[in-house]
Amino acid sequence: MSINFENRVAIVTGGGGGLGKQHALELGRRGAKVVVNDLGGTVDGSGGSVSAAEAVAQEINDAGGTAVANGASVTDLDAVQAMIDKTMSNWGRIDILVNNAGILRDKTFTKMEIPNWHAVLDVHLNGSMNCTKLAWPIMTSQNYGRIVMTTSTSGLFGNFGQSNYGSAKLGLVGLMNTLRLEGAKFNVHTNSIAPIAATRMTLELPGFEDSAERLAPELVTPAVVFLCSETAPNGRIIQAAGGRYYSADVRENAGVDLGTNATAEDIAKNLDVILDMSTNLGMLERLQNS
């Protein structure tokens, strides 16, 4: 099966470098018309220049594809609207949205300044919501759309010093879980990628020393490209690291029915069963299957 994106239009946020650049280049190589969005700021979100986005768009165009650069901040709803309007003016549709833009402001929770909590959530979570919210009616009206959220193992499992980042990343999974339900009847599929890659955002993190080749960002892109395709699932999390692709999930177990008179002591006595994830369907799944 060959995946191509002829006649498809894609927006990739944070597309000026790292993961986003590789996603944009591959979508362009496979025929998509690509909006390469990037504010061009530093890792902590300060500053800005459209030059990085322009360079990636030029690379796509030089290779025979079609791309334009955009320097909007995903936190600026008016700027995102202008990007959406320009995309529709140019090409009349939006088929793919890869929410990849992000920043880091790592500190332990004790030392983290409150503004750095809001700044990180504003880019990752609110920024992804802004772009998705404005693309959503276009996708539902054309009865087609593929949305990719960029989550993280920091959100799924936690990571020291990343309470703001992890909260934003798990928030994106919550958004995905609702959008998969609301978008299904419109053929709008929303999935998440949880990448582990060596980019400028990970240079200072423990474990990423000498990892440029082993954890190259282009090794994440095949999963993202698949999630942008017509055959993409809906509401799944794919993790990608160094050529290994695997899944994460949010699930519940069968638990134990303690009745309406249950006490805290009953919880304590049955804790092993309550926490045993090897049991079968949980309540929500039983209700859905009934």
Kindly report, residue by residue over 29-44, the tens digit of the pLDDT. Answer: 999 999 999 998 666 6
- Assess whether 286 and 237 both reside in one domain: no
CA-based nearest residue to 104, from 92, 91, 119, 87? 119
Q: Spell out the residues 6+ positions from residue 62 whose beta carbon is closer than 8 angstroms to its own.
A: none
- Assess whether 174 and 160 both reside in one domain: yes
- Assess whether 73 and 24 both reside in one domain: yes
Q: 253-280, pLDDT tens digit by residue? A: 889 999 999 999 999 999 999 999 987 6
Which residues are part of the catalytic machinery? 165
Angle 105-110-111 (CA atoms, 0-180°, nearest 5)? 45
- Assess whether 273 and 181 both reside in one domain: no
> What is the C-alpha to C-alpha distance for residues 26 and 255, in angstroms, rounded to an integer?
45
Query: Which ranges of the chain have pLDDT less than 70?
Result: 41-48, 198-215, 280-290
Tell me phi and psi for residue 244, to 5 degrees: -100, 135
Kindly state whether residue 4 falls inside one of the protein's structural domains.
no
Q: Which residues pair with 150 in a beta bridge?
A: 193
DSSP 8-state code for residue 165: H
User: How big is the chain by its Cα radius of gyration, in Å?
Assistant: 20
Laid out side by side, the sheet with 9-13 consists of 66-70, 33-37, 9-13, 96-99, 145-150, 188-196, 237-241, 244-248
pLDDT value of position 41: 64
Q: How many domains does the chain have?
A: 2
Kindly state whether residue 214 falls inside one of the protein's structural domains.
yes
Distances (CA, A) of 66 to 5, 8, 31, 35, 177: 12, 11, 8, 9, 32
- Assess whether 152 and 275 both reside in one domain: no
Cα 122–chain centre separation: 14
- Assess whether 163 and 270 both reside in one domain: no
Annotate 16-76 with DSSP letters as a single string.
TSHHHHHHHHHHHHTT-EEEEE-----TTS----THHHHHHHHHHHHTT-EEEEE---TT-
